[in-house]
Homo-oligomer: A and B are copies of this chain.
């Protein structure tokens, strides 16, 4: 285990969106500087970072300069191209590590990994062509959902099958990309666990949040979740198993379905997670600082909940609500400084601090 990062060390972050932005702020709070690597111009994270590199992930010279300029590398999204990671990995430590990325970059690999750990996942089967599609429907049944194995997010790269007759259209929607057919789960709630693990193996989980999605995008997270405490404990233990198995360093988001038979793992994200934004106003140390602490080799911080929170994403025209929200007593606004409002674009979020948690 390496020494804790000293004051003034530079943390490299791949991706300059809102997660990189909030990671930068947390890093600054602990006396670190940040260097953002992002292909797009004027990234939200750049407003609060010390250095910004604007270059594509295929630019080896830019990657090399970035890797040489930073003390540790992390990322705000799991779809970092493998070739970039190969190069960067020779220049600086990357946390969370390659194994977590490899697994979470591919839905099939992820489900095999989770099943292999003895955790429950939805029925699933690989789909590469019409033949495997037929076999998958046979195994999984319908209704079901076909998802690309790689590069899906916020409901993109998905097609629903109400019945087997939708198979051809769904397959066409994948445009030849390898896919996974997932059976529908009859769940009463969706919750997520934001878990952190330090290089020394210390694990800390935040209270589970209860999520509501709309159109494949997270709309709202409520903490505490309306699930029994035994189930919350199951979720925490399960998340700890995943992190330990991967020798994980950093924060992970684990999405779970609550069913009559217990918890089913929907997916894992090897990064800070939208459903953990409530921690900014519910805990002394939020998920962003927890991630920075972990990748910097610091002890994990206090993630105990001091307040109940409802987090709501501000998507597209929701930004018109900002003046009214700013005038409400219980609101904490977190806006991303994005230049243009676009439909479906996450522009910010608001934490409604509904009460002090019972201590």
Please report A residues at the B interface, Cβ cutoff 8 Å: 4, 7-8, 21, 24-25, 28-34, 46-50, 281, 284-285, 293, 298-299, 301-302, 304, 306-307, 319, 322-323, 326-327, 329-339, 348, 351, 353, 355-357, 359
Contacts and interface: CB of A to CB of B under 8 A. Distances in A.
A332 B24 contact: no
Nearest to A358: B356
Nearest to A304: B329
> Which of A298, A336, A356 lies at the interface centre, i.e. has the most chain B CB atoms within 10 A of its CB?
A356
Contacts of A34: 47
Report copies per complex.
2
A306 B359 contact: no
B337 A32 contact: yes
Contacts of A322: 7
B359 A359 contact: no
A29 B326 CA distance: 12
A48 B336 CA distance: 14
Contact of A335 (B31, B331, B353, B359): B31
Given A348-B31, A356-B357, A339 B48 contact: no
Nearest to A359: B356
A336 B98 CA distance: 32
Nearest to A340: B8
A306 B356 CA distance: 7
A337 B8 contact: yes
B332 A28 contact: no
Given A29-B334, A284-B307, 7 more contacts: A25-B25, A34-B47, A46-B50, A284-B351, A301-B332, A302-B330, A356-B359
A337 B299 contact: no
A293 B327 CA distance: 11
A46 B284 CA distance: 25
23 contacts: A7-B319, A7-B335, A7-B337, A7-B338, A8-B339, A25-B28, A28-B47, A28-B48, A29-B333, A29-B334, A31-B335, A31-B336, A31-B348, A32-B337, A33-B337, A47-B50, A48-B48, A48-B49, A284-B332, A293-B326, A299-B326, A301-B332, A302-B330
